[in-house]
Chain A
Amino acid sequence: AQSVTQPDIHITVSEGASLELRCNYSYGATPYLFWYVQSPGQGLQLLLKYFSGDTLVQGIKGFEAEFKRSQSSFNLRKPSVHWSDAAEYFCAVGLNSGGYQKVTFGTGTKLQVIP
């Protein structure tokens, strides 16, 4: 069974600073990987996804993520954080399962942005 680990429960960064959120996955085959963002009281918005090909993936809102098979990682990065980026971020791995996609989410990382 696939699993996702987000080792950082809570991260605080200053506005304008760079950001890296860590994600490690466990899955036997080539994974389908995602990062979602959730603002308080809201649903999940897809930031970016990796299915295959270029291991550096660009997403919305200036985010990018790099797939590293050797490290089983899919870390999310942003060069300069804005106050509006404060939210919870979920890494997820997807599995095609005969008629639907089973997605396993990590436990999330809450990002706080300070002035």
Chain B
Amino acid sequence: DAMVIQNPRYQVTQFGKPVTLSCSQTLNHNVMYWYQQKSSQAPKLLFHYYDKDFNNEADTPDNFQSRRPNTSFCFLDIRSPGLGDAAMYLCATSRWTRGRPYNEQFFGPGTRLTVL
């Protein structure tokens, strides 16, 4: 089945120690998104890639970076995690097609990040 995969499902890191979360997709979608979801809150968009074009949300901290080496993979790098960065990180994909009004996003299972 075509899907969005996130690894690892659970990640523990230390305060200030860089961490990378991984997302891969077999849907061949051209847009990939990263969301942060803190406990009992709605998902919050951090950034997205449209093909190779990176687009940062205005309020995403500089501590968060992303890489998309190819269509299938996208990484979320947290350079110096703080206690406030503990959250579920969700990857999503969609296909944007000119002339088609909308295509929904498909979500991966998420990576729960713990910062000690």
A-side residues, CB < 8 A to B, are 32, 34, 36, 41-46, 49, 51-52, 90, 94, 96, 99-103, 105-108
Contacts and interface: CB of A to CB of B under 8 A. Distances in A.
Given A44-B92, A51-B102, A100-B31, 5 more contacts: A42-B110, A46-B107, A101-B104, A105-B42, A106-B42
Nearest to B109: A43
B94 A51 contact: no
B102 A100 contact: no
Given A32-B102, A44-B107, A94-B102, A100 B55 contact: yes
Nearest to B50: A99
B104 A49 contact: yes
Contacts of A51: 101-102
21 contacts: A32-B101, A41-B110, A42-B110, A43-B6, A43-B108, A43-B109, A43-B110, A44-B90, A44-B92, A51-B101, A51-B102, A52-B101, A96-B102, A99-B50, A99-B53, A99-B96, A100-B55, A101-B105, A102-B45, A106-B42, A107-B41
B70 interface: no
A49 B101 CA distance: 13
A26 B90 CA distance: 25
